[in-house]
Homo-oligomer: A and B are copies of this chain.
Amino acid sequence: MAITLTLDYNNMMKEFIGEKEGFSPADFTAIEPELKAAFDTVQQNRGKGMQGWMDIIYDQENGIVQDIKETAAKIREKFEYFVVLGIGGSALGPTAVFQSLCHLHYNDLPKEKRGGPKFYVEDNVDPERMVALLDVIEPEKTCFNVITKSGATSETMAQYLVISEILKAKLGDKFADNIIATTDAKRGNLVKLVKEHGFKSFTILDGVGGRFSELSPVGLLPAAVLGIDISELLAGARAMDEHCKEADYKKNMGLMLAALQHVAMARGKNIGVMMPYTDSLKYIADWYAQLWAESLGKSVHKDGTPAFVGQTPVKSLGVTDQHSQVQLYAEGPFDKVVTFLAVKNYRKTVVIPEGCQDIPDIHFLSGHTMNELITAEQKATAYALTVANRLNYTITLEEVNAHSVGELLYLFEMQTAFAGELLNIDTYNQPGVENGKNATYALLGKSGYEAKKAELDSAPALRAEYII
């Protein structure tokens, strides 16, 4: 099946948003060599280094997908609750796909309508939230999916310690039946625990970083447990991969998106708003926010020269945030690009009934559908931004389904990979989080972090006059 997404970037162009802010085809031809280099690098490095994420949409069909489906079927039969213990990509991906493809009030449905277990993603170490979770699940009836590539993620392993103690107290040696580990094949602590306790485990193949891991078992197991057709997700990703093999940037959505944002960033548009016009795609914007921010937010280029680049992703929701953010988008600084995610066919239709005949401000709605209303509002908002000379483009999904969501996830991964090459930075590292991590270790007295502790202790004393 071919791709079903379309990208319309008319509203990025001079003809539509005016000379001053608009782009012209010449802006792309000016960077054609860079676009070609970015395309070649990404395609040639397929499967190498940290580009394993391009391989897994093919490779996992050899057994891994089948294993996930069989395991998911058993979980759906045996457990009442399924809890992901993970943070970052290990949480954002599963949440995004869950919201896209499951009932919007899934946990509130009776069991027979759900079909699968209640679903929670625990991506924080707030003690109030941990206690709240334990108030609403029955641990002995819960499958905990511990997801961490390194097995050293403090937040996830703190949760693991809490949960495994509770399970041991309730189930004794059988506690291992309630835990599934998703981790790296060889390195890391979680592999040790898998061997020691005999947890069922799934492997994240090589070259798949956290933010590129949704189409690995990180995302596929939770999705399968929720009854989502993971083969369709992968098929959608493969269709988009085929599409993105097109060398002409004018015909390659991933490369064109990277080009659009690259030109925009070069012109100081340091904010990228993503505004889906459906609740189902709300958390795709969250997942994208990590992918884009952590991949492109870098202080150095590949050659070590200073960069300090990166566009800040902003999550918005249509129509909701028209009543919160659009005033700023339309009248504030010219510092943004707005990505609309539009939907052609919603999976449900709601007719707005006849009523309030004597109140024209309400009655004009009668006879329309909510589908028409939300669609009109998306078009109207794009129009209003355009006439206010604000850069925006629209990605349209025919329908939100497993195939189109697979396309969308993979499209954004390709866009990010191309954009990283255009910026000439390392798309796949995250050195900027190390200092905070080490400071946490030092504050908690972890052995080996005595020097960092001394550094923290020697920081200048806070000044009372700067505290109110």
Contact = CB atoms under 8 A, between A and B. Distances in A.
Given A113-B135, A333-B270, A373 B125 contact: yes
Copies in the complex: 2
6 contacts: A105-B133, A125-B373, A127-B346, A157-B356, A250-B468, A368-B444
Contacts of A16: 460
Nearest 9 interchain pairs by C-beta: A297-B328, A88-B323, A310-B332, A380-B439, A384-B436, A330-B432, A104-B132, A290-B324, A297-B332
A467 B380 contact: no
Interface string A75-86: 000000000000
The size class of the interface chain A forms with chain B is 35 or more
Interface in A297-353: 297-299, 308-310, 312, 314-315, 317, 319-320, 322-336, 346-350, 352-353
A266 interface: no
B162 A353 contact: yes
Contacts of A312: 271, 312, 314, 328, 332, 335-336
A316 to B, nearest CB: 9
Nearest to A353: B165
A70 interface: no
A51 to B, nearest CB: 19
Contact of A125 (B193, B319, B324): B319
A170 interface: no
Contacts of A124: 279, 317, 319-320, 374
- Residue from A88, A332, A443, A463 whose CB has the most chain B CB atoms within 10 Å: A332
A400 B92 CA distance: 26
A60 interface: no
B439 A379 contact: yes
A87 interface: yes
Contacts of A218: none
A224 interface: no
A352 B462 CA distance: 31
